[in-house]
């Protein structure tokens, strides 16, 4: 059964009007370009919010007129709130900006509409990227930060506990925040420089020997897939789309590799 709503909030050290402006006008700068942070990561080049009622929330592809509409704005009050009806699932999203302790509390509520069945509750994960950008925006580059083409996927029985341990013991940081005890995020991304470490839940489908894997981003996934097949790689999954476009294969000693389509913006 789909849960009826998901909520989250963060605090930022700017006034509500500035927080609203940063959230809406600079979304392409604070949105983390991680491996699984778009509906079509292979083609995404930017995120965009068109201001005002009737404006669109967009995932932008190349060329610029190629977009995925994520939603249409239904309420727009700069410095106070904006809301939109999702175009990709059956939810409504409201983001409030409230003066709080010298700054602003930004709260998001993503709710299933009456009679709705499909909900992608991604906002509770995403909103935590905002404070990190607010803290560094005065001295940061205005070019969106892109990740390297190599990522490591780690599989744990308790990914949230593993993230806390890796942060405390090894000093690994996060794009947004280290999950607190009692939380179970849908995905966790840690970072080493501009490289991503993806934490997933270990399931019965994976053995202890294959609980870690490498992700590599390539220019042309179809060509790479054909080359791997022709040269004897054991294909574990054909090319498929789930936010990112990828396939999985094993090497000669049974280690798992995930090859994903690089975005146009990836160096």
- Going residue by residue through the chain (267 aa), what tens digit of pLDDT does each one get? 567 999 999 999 999 999 999 999 999 999 988 777 899 988 899 999 999 999 999 999 987 679 999 999 999 999 999 999 999 999 999 999 999 999 999 999 999 999 999 999 989 888 988 998 999 899 888 887 777 878 888 888 788 888 888 888 667 788 667 888 877 776 788 876 778 888 888 776 655 445 567 788 888 999 999 998 888 888 999 999 988 899 998 876 676 888 899 888 886
Question: Where do the domains of the chain lie?
Answer: 5-136, 150-261
CATH number of 5-136: 3.30.530.20
Whether 126 contacts 23, CB under 8 Å = no
CATH number of 150-261: 3.10.180.10
């Amino acid at each position: 059964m789909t849960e009826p709503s998901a909520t989250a909030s963060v605090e930022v050290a700017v006034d509500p009007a500035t927080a609203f402006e940063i959230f809406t006008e600079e979304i392409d700068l604070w949105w983390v370009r991680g491996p699984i942070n778009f509906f079509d990561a292979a083609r995404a080049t930017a995120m965009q919010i068109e201001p005002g009622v009737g404006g669109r929330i967009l995932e932008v592809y190349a060329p610029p007129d190629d977009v995925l509409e994520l939603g249409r704005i239904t309420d727009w009050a700069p410095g106070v709130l904006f809301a939109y009806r999702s175009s990709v699932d059956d939810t409504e999203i409201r983001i409030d900006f409230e003066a709080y302790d010298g700054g602003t509390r930004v709260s998001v509520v993503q709710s299933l509409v009456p009679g709705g069945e499909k909900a992608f509750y991604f906002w509770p994960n995403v909103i935590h990227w905002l404070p990190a950008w607010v803290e560094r925006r005065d001295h940061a580059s205005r070019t969106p930060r892109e990740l390297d083409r190599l990522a490591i996927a780690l599989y744990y029985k308790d990914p949230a506990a593993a993230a806390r341990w890796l942060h405390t013991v090894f000093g690994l940081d996060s794009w947004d925040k280290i999950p607190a005890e009692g939380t179970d995020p849908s995905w966790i991304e840690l970072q080493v420089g501009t490289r991503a470490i993806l934490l997933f839940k270990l399931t019965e489908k994976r053995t202890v020997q294959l609980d870690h894997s490498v992700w590599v981003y390539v220019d042309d996934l179809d060509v790479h897939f054909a080359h791997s097949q022709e040269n004897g790689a054991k294909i574990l999954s054909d090319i498929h789309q789930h936010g990112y476009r990828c396939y999985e294969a094993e090497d000669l000693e049974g280690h798992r590799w995930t090859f994903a389509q690089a975005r146009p913006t990836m160096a």
